[in-house]
Chains A and B, each alone.
Chain A
Amino acid sequence: MTVSSRSAAREEVLARVRSAVGDSSAVEQSYAQVPRGYRDAGGGERPWEAGAPQTVALFLERLADYGASARLVDASAAPSAIAEALAGRSASTVVVPHGFPEQWRAGLAGVRVLGDDPPVGLDALDAVDGAVTTAAIAAAATGTFVLDGGPGQGRRALTLVPDYHLCVIPADRIVRSVPQALARLDPVRPLTLVSGPSATSDIEMKRVEGVHGPRTLEVLVVAAEPPPEDHRPIDDPAES
């Protein structure tokens, strides 16, 4: 494929589009006129009451519907809850990305921790017993949390190749709806929206949990009081 034929295709497709829609200015439809009568458009009104008790309860309920195990723990009990979860899996080696909150690390005392620095090879990753991360934001209404590669989340392979994912999320990162969560994200980063363990409905439309991604997903929501020292607080999204 030469450059000239590439640009010829480009010019032709664009010319076809322009001729198909005719004189665009005559039918100018303003983006601003798109009706957005649905809830929380653009992230909705603030304050969002992230981490409100009913929001957290809804998030846990939705995750349970997906077949994920999810519970709320006090900040002081977070390390022991992490240790308990890993012991329940009989995990001996886990990968924990850089930036995982220090105050939770005591929960990792009983296991060998790979830090992904230098990066762990795929075969080694395939052999670990699980990944322990936090998440950037979560939407309660759909039981979704988002990994954005930020502190304590790491590159995408870490939460994909191991068969077990333990995600520890501060309650104040849980917002109510999908629009609220999307408004909080930076699309330039590689993002993964996770809603339950991997699943398929390809056989007779019956849902089966666990195909290629982690077959077991466990979520610990850490209550907001007192706030962990070094998690990123939720601030207003950039106006766009």
Chain B
Amino acid sequence: MNGTTFLGMPAFPRAARDALGDAQLRRNLAEATRTIRDKRAEAVGELPDWEELREAGRVLKEHTLRHLDRYLLQFEERVTAAGGTVHWARDAAEANRIVADLVRRTGRSEVVKVKSMATQETGLNTALEQAGVRAYETDLAELIVQLGQDRPSHILVPAIHRNRAEIREIFRREMGTGAVGDDPADTDALGDDPHELAEAARRHLREKFLRAEVGICGANFLVAETGTVVVAESEGNGRMCVSLPETLICLAGIEKVVPRWQDLEVFLQLLPRSATGERMNPYTSTWTGTADRDGPREFHVVLLDGGRTATLADPIGRQALNCIRCSACLNVCPVYERVGGHAYGSVYPGPIGAILGPQLRGTASAVDRSLPYASTLCGACYEVCPVKINIPEVLVHLRARVVDDSRRRPLPRLEGLAMAVARWALSSPRRLAGAQRMAAAAARLLRRDRPIRRLPGPLAGWTDARDLPVPAPESFRTWWRRTHP
């Protein structure tokens, strides 16, 4: 098994119910997702060739995945020729070990990090901590999550579940010792205006950047043709991490590769508009190996499999690897908007997380078995996806896989038995009529007209995520016969 789900997370339905009870969370999420949805719609609407860009993006990704071995080898060759070193990691543990070894070799015990989903996925910070290395997250939202000892709940805005007042409290509590200012009064005086909070983050990290010897980043794209790494960001923390330290280590999934430099003309138009709803993100850094007199003198790329090749082997599921981590699907998802990212129990929340997680990690855990069901299949995610991943199609496909897995178990589950009974009843009109008569009789006994919120005993599983309507007093066919003699 590769990658991690959050330790001890319950399966989606229970986590979702807890999240729905948190009124503050729902307000924060509704406000934030509405803002970003509107911005995205405007930025995308401005481009008359948006659909052509999406199609180019989809086909490019599909083409690359078909020839992934070739493009990975080409990327390795170009990086090496440009003075970098390429490492390969079969799983998360191996990737973490390689990175920890590289850091140890520098003799340093601190690293600065650019926000990276791959390092979240492998749990790199924890692994580094065990190796005696302190990793400083430098993206503002990641910093909020790290200081608050919290979990990320969004791919792009990991602290989307926090509002300004909560962030101010975290900063006051955690930055106290000289970080916001030398005078403790500065910390107390910190207000909740986003400008002030951003300023506090700037001061908190300034020294770290200027002294940093080792930087760790992910990658938005790896260009096979040239060996170029691309990191898109907004705050400048990424530029700090990739250009100031002596040593730079990049951990990236193998699916991040694109064939040629020219292909960035597609992805650099698709990504920012889909992600933050901007025409372009403030900063995009690209570099190839090491350069004379500019930036790190030592550069490493760690290419991570971590379940990606297993995903690639599934002809329907593999389209999840097209993902460019924009999170547009999260922002439009009616389920995500209400329950937030934590309920998904892993680093990839929302619709893409529901198809990526169970494929990267397999469907062994209760969380991963529940994720394909964490959707209404409304299709909004497919519509906004900049690389046209048919998320509903993959969700249905994975549901089938979960059901097939459970069929192979020695003891049938209650759901399976119920479905067998339903099949028996529904396959004959006489048996169906009999079942309807029994249900109507039961409804008369119940004497209620509101839906049933909770079934008793082992049947409660059915009402965990849905209400059960009270059966009609008579079936349509009975009514027809009665009223049309």
Contact of A203 among B94, B101, B140, B223 (CB under 8 A): B140
**What is the 8 Å Cβ interface bit string for chain B, positions 86-98, against chain A (1 contact, 0 not)?**
0111100010011
Q: Is there a chain A Cβ closer than 8 Å to B62's Cβ?
A: yes
Q: Is there a chain B Cβ closer than 8 Å to A10's Cβ?
A: yes
Interface of B is mostly: helix
Given A35-B59, A155-B293, A157-B244, verify A190-B287 contact (CB < 8 Å): yes
| Nearest CB in chain B to that of A179: its residue | B265
Q: How far, in angstroms, from A193 to B278 measured CA to CA in the complex?
A: 14
Q: Is there a chain A Cβ closer than 8 Å to B198's Cβ?
A: yes
Q: Is there a chain A Cβ closer than 8 Å to B160's Cβ?
A: yes
**What is the 8 Å Cβ interface bit string for chain A, positions 21-33, against chain B (1 contact, 0 not)?**
1001001110101
Given A24-B66, A38-B266, verify A19-B313 contact (CB < 8 Å): yes
CB <8 Å contact, A201 and B63: no
Q: Is there a chain B Cβ closer than 8 Å to A204's Cβ?
A: yes
Contact of A200 among B69, B235, B295, B310 (CB under 8 A): B235
Stretch at the interface among B29-37, B414-422, B424-432, B460-468: B29-37
Residues of B within 8 A of A93 (CB): none
Q: Within the complex, what minimum Cβ distance (angstroms) separates A108 from chain B? A: 23
CB <8 Å contact, B234 and A37: no
CB <8 Å contact, B36 and A205: yes
Q: Is there a chain A Cβ closer than 8 Å to B280's Cβ?
A: yes
Residues of B within 8 A of A179 (CB): 262, 265, 269
**What is the 8 Å Cβ interface bit string for chain B, positions 351-366, against chain A (1 contact, 0 not)?**
0000000000000000
CB <8 Å contact, B268 and A182: yes
Q: Within the complex, what minimum Cβ distance (angstroms) separates A10 from chain B? A: 4
Q: How many A residues, CB 8 Å from partner?
A: 76
Residues of B within 8 A of A6 (CB): 87-88
Stretch at the interface among A48-56, A209-217, A220-228: A209-217
Most buried by A among B194, B234, B259: B234
CB <8 Å contact, A18 and B60: no
CB <8 Å contact, A240 and B144: no
| Nearest CB in chain A to that of B197: its residue | A203
Q: How far, in angstroms, from A224 to B267 measured CA to CA in the complex?
A: 31
Q: Within the complex, what minimum Cβ distance (angstroms) separates B168 from chain A? A: 10
Q: Within the complex, what minimum Cβ distance (angstroms) separates A71 from chain B? A: 20
CB <8 Å contact, A196 and B286: no
Q: How far, in angstroms, from A10 to B295 measured CA to CA in the complex?
A: 28
CB <8 Å contact, B56 and A21: no
CB <8 Å contact, B280 and A144: yes
Q: How far, in angstroms, from A193 to B90 measured CA to CA in the complex?
A: 33
CB <8 Å contact, A201 and B88: no
Q: How many B residues, CB 8 Å from partner?
A: 100
| Nearest CB in chain B to that of A158: its residue | B294
Q: Is there a chain B Cβ closer than 8 Å to A131's Cβ?
A: no
| Nearest CB in chain B to that of A65: its residue | B279
Contact of A21 among B164, B286, B312 (CB under 8 A): B312
CB <8 Å contact, B52 and A37: yes
Q: Within the complex, what minimum Cβ distance (angstroms) separates A97 from chain B? A: 11
Q: Within the complex, what minimum Cβ distance (angstroms) separates A158 from chain B? A: 10
CB <8 Å contact, B94 and A9: yes
**What is the 8 Å Cβ interface bit string for chain B, positions 252-278, against chain A (1 contact, 0 not)?**
001000011110111011001000101
Q: Within the complex, what minimum Cβ distance (angstroms) separates B396 from chain A? A: 22
Interface residues of A in 182-202 (CB under 8 A from B): 182-183, 187-202
Q: How far, in angstroms, from A179 to B49 measured CA to CA in the complex?
A: 13
Q: How far, in angstroms, from A36 to B263 measured CA to CA in the complex?
A: 10
Residues of B within 8 A of A62 (CB): 279
CB <8 Å contact, B283 and A14: no
Given A1-B97, A182-B264, A190-B243, verify A211-B202 contact (CB < 8 Å): yes
Given A13-B309, A203-B164, A204-B194, verify A156-B56 contact (CB < 8 Å): no
Q: Is there a chain A Cβ closer than 8 Å to B195's Cβ?
A: yes
| Nearest CB in chain B to that of A7: its residue | B88
| Nearest CB in chain A to that of B266: its residue | A38
Residues of A within 8 A of B254 (CB): 13, 17
Q: Is there a chain A Cβ closer than 8 Å to B146's Cβ?
A: no
| Nearest CB in chain A to that of B331: its residue | A205
Given A206-B35, A211-B235, verify A12-B90 contact (CB < 8 Å): yes
**What is the 8 Å Cβ interface bit string for chain B, positions 169-208, against chain A (1 contact, 0 not)?**
0000000000000000000000000110111011001100
Residues of A within 8 A of B264 (CB): 182
CB <8 Å contact, B59 and A208: no
CB <8 Å contact, B282 and A212: no
**What is the 8 Å Cβ interface bit string for chain A, positions 155-174, against chain B (1 contact, 0 not)?**
11100110000000000000
CB <8 Å contact, B261 and A14: no
CB <8 Å contact, A156 and B239: yes
Most buried by A among B32, B53, B268: B268
Q: Is there a chain A Cβ closer than 8 Å to B330's Cβ?
A: no
Q: List 14 A-B contacts (CB under 8 A).
A: A13-B89, A20-B318, A21-B66, A34-B56, A34-B60, A142-B272, A143-B280, A149-B294, A160-B240, A183-B262, A199-B235, A201-B157, A202-B139, A211-B140
In order of increasing CB-CB distance, the 9 nearest A-B pairs are A213-B236, A16-B309, A212-B236, A211-B235, A179-B265, A37-B52, A142-B280, A202-B141, A20-B313
What residues make up the interface of A, taking CB atoms closer than 8 Å to B?
A: 1, 6, 9-10, 12-14, 16-21, 24, 27-29, 31, 33-42, 62, 65-66, 119, 122-123, 126, 141-144, 149, 155-157, 160-161, 178-179, 182-183, 187-206, 208, 210-214, 240
Other contacts beyond A119-B293, A190-B295, A213-B282: 18, CB < 8 A = A9-B89, A20-B312, A21-B66, A24-B67, A31-B63, A34-B63, A36-B56, A160-B243, A179-B265, A182-B264, A191-B287, A192-B286, A195-B278, A201-B157, A202-B139, A204-B32, A210-B198, A240-B260
